[in-house]
């Protein structure tokens, strides 16, 4: 019996001895311990502050916002798009929709690119079609941003999209975990959760991007009041 199999069996035995509520509380404690580490990490908090402030400026100024990720991270990217295109917490229902573009924009595009070009390009290929309008906005002083989700920081298609964005002056905000992986090289802001557990990383990402949505929406509402 190899070591990895023994570890799985040991974990399985430990899980069987716990009730569902015990497992839930244990997971809550593990998530809380990561939050506590973040609360004490001045550098990570400062990076988050600058990333959110920059995303807010882009939103208010009318820049394009792109989002991408795989699997659970795709769900997170799609979630943030829904919150910003619709409403997050705006009880007045007054703020305008934001130009948030999920990559790729349709299942048809995803399967066509994956089949004809390669899965590595399912995000960078559609993003390449927006480079010209992004540059036009840049000429008028308006930035655009890519929100890239990869818990490992090493997903080839996410890295490929971040590389294309970074090289074309699109700001890259990467939501990662572990060490940040290859996304480090192509990120203006690396929001790296200090954990190696994918599920815990995604839970903290959820907190991070919900807070981003709250701040972006509030900034837009405040800007609308200033313009009246």
Q: Which residues have CB under 8 Å from 93's CB, separation 6+? A: 87
pLDDT at 7: 52
Please tell me the distance from the alpha carbon of residue 183 to that of residue 156, in angstroms, as a whole number. 9
* pLDDT tens, position by position, 10-64: 555 555 678 889 999 999 999 999 999 999 999 999 999 999 999 999 998 999 9
pLDDT at 92: 85
Give the count of beta carbons closer than 10 Å to the beta carbon of residue 126: 21
Burial class (CB in 10 A: 0-12, 13-18, 19+), 16: exposed
Query: For 194-213, what is each residue's pLDDT tens digit?
Result: 999 999 999 999 999 999 99
The torsion of the CA quartet 196, 202, 204, 209, rounded to 10 degrees, works out to 140
pLDDT digits (tens, 9 = 90+) for 63-86: 999 999 999 999 999 999 999 999
Q: Which two tokens stand for residue 85?
A: 């295109």
Q: How confident is the model at residue 6 (pLDDT cuts 50, 70, 90)?
A: low
pTM for the structure as a whole:
0.89
């Amino acid at each position: 019996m190899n070591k990895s199999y023994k570890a799985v069996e040991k974990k399985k035995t430990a899980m069987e001895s716990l009730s569902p509520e015990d497992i839930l509380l244990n997971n809550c404690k593990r998530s809380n311990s990561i939050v506590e580490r973040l609360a004490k990490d001045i550098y990570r908090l400062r990076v988050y502050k600058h990333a959110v402030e920059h995303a807010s400026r882009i939103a208010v100024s009318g820049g394009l916002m792109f989002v991408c990720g795989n699997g659970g991270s795709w769900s997170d990217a799609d979630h943030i798009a829904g919150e910003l295109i619709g409403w997050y917490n705006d009880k007045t229902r007054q703020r305008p929709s934001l130009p948030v573009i999920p990559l790729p924009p349709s299942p048809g595009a995803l399967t066509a690119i994956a089949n004809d070009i390669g899965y590595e390009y399912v995000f960078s290929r559609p993003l390449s079609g927006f480079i010209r309008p992004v540059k036009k906005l840049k000429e008028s002083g308006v930035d655009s941003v890519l929100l890239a989700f990869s818990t490992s920081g090493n997903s080839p298609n996410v890295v490929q999209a971040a590389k294309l964005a970074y090289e074309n002056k699109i700001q890259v905000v990467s939501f990662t975990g572990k060490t940040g992986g290859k996304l480090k090289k192509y990120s203006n802001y690396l929001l790296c959760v200090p954990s190696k557990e994918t599920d815990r990383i995604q839970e903290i990402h959820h907190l991070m991007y919900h807070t981003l949505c709250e701040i972006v929406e509030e900034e837009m509402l405040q800007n609308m009041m200033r313009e009246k």
